[in-house]
Amino acid sequence: MKLLIALLSFTLLTACEHIKEESSGNPAIEGWYADPEGVVFNNEFWIYTTLSDLSPEVKENAPELKKKTRAVHQIYNVQTYLDAFSSKDLVHWTKHPKVLSIENIKWLEFALWAPAIIKANGKYYLFFGGNDIQNDNQCGGIGVAIADNPAGPFKDALGKPLIDKIINGAQPIDQFVFRDDDGSYYMYYGGWHHCNMVKLSPDLLRIVPFEDGTYYKSVTPENYVEGPFMLKRNGKYYFMWSEGSWGGADYSVAYAIADSPYGPFDRVGKILQQDDKIATGAGHHSVIQIPGKDEWYIVYHRRPLGDTDQNHRQVCIDKMYFDENGYIKPVKMTFEGVKAIEID
């Protein structure tokens, strides 16, 4: 009997190790991270993250937690750098620490958030939010940094924010840059339940007017809170965003489908939300498409069950599917994550 139990235990352990080797597991990345931006560069997967919290042993002696600033939460004083992670197969990840940090942004004081990255003009442009401004008299907003490779180091390109004012009620945070098929670059951004759209210059360092002469368009869909994202599939524009409270269990992702990058974005419904058997607070996502294939992965953060610390967020990856009519199927959150896949 003892021999049988030992054999069964060994078989179970071997099976678990095999599953771990062949799938990413969720969380896919170790540590407290949020707002993941998943992309493909040079046949390699990359995820750029917001630092959400520190480990207890590091946090205990972090001098930033004693720093006096106007930050709404003291933890924002720690959030002064962005880490990135790269992988050949979505399973095995290499950490690239501090690809962008406060040392390379002279106007940043705290709250370096929500990376959005795009390759253009032979360089990598990393857009970010900084200083969590609460009114137009404070310094901060959305900035842009540039590097020659996706691992950085990125350096602030302007020496000041690209957007530093609250326009149409949208706090300048949570930016996403989308390149349309005609080569136009658009940025969607905004917190506080408002979303704006702007058009970027070819060098991605200026906001240029739309054809009607305006610079900012409000494109806020129903129930929008923050975290916009755009993808294009079969000629349709899928606009996605986060709903609920970023620190609450009800954080979730919804979407709309439009025929134009300008909308209108009529809400279809939620595709990612809490699961009482898996995790809560699932939101602020991005989507990775396997180049040349109709194969999609959603990269998002969520909070472990029973953990009420709003900054305890973890980066996870799951498959995302479309139905035969082009609608996004509800995403099933898992602990297993995704299987290894390499780009041809």
> Does residue 17 have an active-site annotation?
no
Handedness of CA 89, 330, 187, 226 (dihedral sign): negative
How far is 165 from 161, CA to CA, in rounded Å? Answer: 9
The one catalytic residue in 35, 53, 109, 132 is 35
Question: At a CB cut-off of 8 Å and minimum separation 6, what does 50 contact?
Answer: 33, 34, 35, 79, 82, 112, 113, 114, 115
CA–CA dist 168, 162 (Å, integer): 16
DSSP code, position 104 = G
Peptide bond just before 221 cis, omega within 30 deg: no
- 3-state SS, residue 19: helix
Is 14 in a helix, a strand, or coil? helix
Active-site residue (options: 37, 164, 226, 243): 226
Q: Check if the beta carbon of residue 278 is closer than 8 Å to that of residue 334.
A: yes
Is 103 catalytic? The answer is: no
Amino acid at 149: N
Residues 99, 32 contacting (CB under 8 angstroms)? no
Report angle CA 257, 113, 100 to the nearest 5 degrees. 120
The catalytic residues are: 35, 226
